[in-house]
Structure 1
Amino acid sequence: MTDRPNILVVCGRNKKRSRTAEFIFKNDNRFSIRSAGLSSKSDRKISEKDLNWADLVFVMETGYRARIWGQYRHMELPPIEILDIPDDYEFMDKELVELLTDRINDTLRIVYKI
């Protein structure tokens, strides 16, 4: 991992959860961040380019990791961490912001020491 890792955050359609994560962390000096969705209806659909760029991927649900592994099994993928945040929130919902902030920061601090 580089000094300033690239983090990709993925949810279903890149409308609420992953976009919120990108928005709240976009000016964080510890890492670069972008978001994408798995659905063909996503505002920004995940691509091989995103996965090649990423040093770490956060997904909202367990099934999303399996989908990425299956869809991109021909690639060497970065580590994929599960945030376990259901699709129960709107973009920038106060509780969603708290969950994302706590879980992303905890994982970065514990697993990646940043």
Structure 2
Amino acid sequence: MRVLFVCSRNRLRSPTAEAVFRDRPGIEVASVGLKPDAEEVATPEDIAWADLIFVMEASHKRELTRRFQRYLRDKRVVVLAIRDDYDYLQPELVDLLQRVVPPHLP
């Protein structure tokens, strides 16, 4: 299963999620951002690649749908409701991700 983590600028939340789950058996992970100045800007190819997409905020789901609707057919998009209040690999963010993401994974 291919899992894509999405946040605004791909600097803190989604790269942390990618790092946390990169070695989990049975999944491939990647992360992108939706802002033009993101480290890795989301592309149609990223969305097409993913089997499951996690977004950090409801606003990310709305933006993803607005920009990539045709690529989201048959895609599951999960809103994690994680605000932009954390640093990269901050232990509280890691703990939160480890609680909220696994129930959605195979």
Shorter-chain TM-score: what band? over 0.9
Amino acid aligned to 1:107? H
Aligned-residue CA RMSD (Å): 1.0
Contact 2:56 2:79 in 1 (8 A): yes
Cross-structure match for 1:54:
50
Separation in 2 of the partners of 1:105 and 1:75? 24
Cross-structure match for 1:111:
none
Q: CA deviation at 1:42?
A: 0.3
Q: Tell me the SS of whatever aligns to 1:34.
A: strand
Q: CA deviation at 1:9?
A: 0.2
1:20 aligns with 2:16: yes
User: Normalising to structure 1: TM-score of the pair?
Assistant: 0.88
Separation in 2 of the partners of 1:13 and 1:58? 14
User: Normalising to structure 2: TM-score of the pair?
Assistant: 0.94
Separation in 1 of the partners of 2:36 and 2:19? 22
Identity, in percent, stands at: 32
Separation in 1 of the partners of 2:4 and 2:87? 20
1:33 aligns with 2:29: yes
Cross-structure match for 1:82:
79
Q: CA deviation at 1:100?
A: 0.7
Separation in 2 of the partners of 1:26 and 1:103? 16
> Moved runs in structure 1, 4+ residues, more than 6 A?
none
Separation in 1 of the partners of 2:86 and 2:40? 19
Q: CA deviation at 1:85?
A: 0.3
Q: CA deviation at 1:7?
A: 0.3
Q: Which runs of 5 or more structure 2 residues have no equivalent in the other structure? A: none
Q: Tell me the SS of whatever aligns to 2:78.
A: strand
